[in-house]
Structure 1
Amino acid sequence: MIEQTIEQRRRSLGGGLEVGRVLPHAGRRMVGPFIFFDHLGPLDLPKGVDRHVDVRPHPHIGLSTVTYLFSGEIMHRDSLGSVQAVRPDAVNWMTAGRGITHSERFEKARAMGDHLHGIQAWVALPREDEETTPSFAHLEGDALPHWTEAGLHGQLIAGSAYGLTAAARTYSPLFYVHLELAAGAKAELPAAYPERALYIAKGRIRVDGQDYEAGRMLIVSPGSSWFEALEPATVMLLGGEPIGERFLLWNFVSSSKERLAQAALDWQAGRMKLPDADHDEFIPLPAGTLPPQALPSS
């Protein structure tokens, strides 16, 4: 049964880069530990695209960022020294923990043009792991189990589902799956988790006799749940065990509002290390991010 339908809201990230924001939503903050879900593109980036489309160095705490592409290429650089392009059917999994900074740039697009389409998600960390040591992993191939059956190709990005387990280190029980379905193909959501959702990135599907189009996330109640593709479709499945209330402030996630304010002050004061390979510019803390009482006295 569908508990709720969330339609993406278009958001500009600046420089001409626009995304479909799905989570967080006023009516649904999280699905399991997933606290943020952006649909990138589909967007054609012309050869020589302006550098303003890039996402300059910026900070995170208390979460793992998960970048997964259907097409295109994004170059990642972070304060651990990682320099890694992410391409289709691979994943960049960055755990911020107590603090990390990174940039995401479109260098392939500048050189030859590119067609960008993908998903960026944030997975909140359990309270006991919010201040864990930052880490970065690039995963592809056998690290992301895949399977093919009648009219369906699936890839497990993270967690456990369908008797498979992906290689990314996760800190709480979850699943994250990419499915490509031919028209008429059917698939079942993993049933072992209390919070589940599917997101239609392309095409149309039918659930419980109701048709849904691309750009919608469906929150699905526990139990056996199947859906059918009405045309070729790209669908993301996600969910897991809830980890408790989390607060967001700009790019920061925490169970503590005080910790969020401290992270913002640290970034504003230049106390968070920039990537060694990308340290000449950064995104300033947006005006109004901190309430007046959180600002240091002059």
Structure 2
Amino acid sequence: MSFSLQRLRAWWRAFRASRRGRRAIRAGRAALLAAVVAYFLYRFSQIGWAQVWRALPEQPLYYAILGVMYVLYPVGDAVVYGRVWRGASVQGCLPASFRKRILNQDLLSFSGEVYFYDWARRRVPQPGGVLWRTIKDNLIVTSVVSIGTASLILAVSLLVVPADLLQELQNTRAFYAAAGFVVLALGAGAAVRFRRALLSVTPAALGLMLGVHAARFTAGRVLQVVQWEVVVPEASLQTWLVLLSLLVLTSRIPFVPASDLV
């Protein structure tokens, strides 16, 4: 088995270095881009172009916030990988991080990680195993932070229940809040206890990942609520918090194409 893998890797390196291989790779990238564009055209056609155009927000602030939100995630990834990998830089990782985000968000979950690993193998002077383990660890930390964020958002939404439902849901609210904190505490304890089995990065790199992802998730979720509030100011804060928690949870479902449109 290992011999077959070695032969396959040797063939791929030779094919990628050949003229025909470079042409095939460029053609594959162009085909992938065309497939993404065709998929979006198909989805928008299902909705209806006129309806999509009428539904576009008219507030300029909405699009300004959208731009900032879109930049947060690739910049965060570039900071993590540019600092953790020796021989890499934040500036060098930034273009690939943007492509990674486009693939993950607009095409298929985790397809961006596959692309990013292939890019890193060609650009970062580190063994392939080190690169892949770092990407895996970053995925785990991102998932933990996002799920923890969703749990906290749900807990906060329970604390802002309308006054007319406060008496009716008082006991239930306390129960779910307590259960949520217990789950978070158990999850945090398990992560600390088994961190060496799950993660391969150094404590300093782990601290960097946690700090960067916590900061970008917090900023991104606050901006998301502000963006919604700009368009629909009459909605309640609890509505946005519940919707936000659902958005965070659905974004963690693997292998879902364009999860924002599902």
* Greater Rg by CA: 2
**Greater relative contact order structure (CA < 8 Å, 6+ sep):** 2
Indicate whether the TM-score tops 0.5. no
The two structures have a TM-score, normalised by structure 2, of: 0.23
The two structures have a TM-score, normalised by structure 1, of: 0.21
Kindly indicate which of the two structures has a greater share of residues assigned to helix. Answer: 2
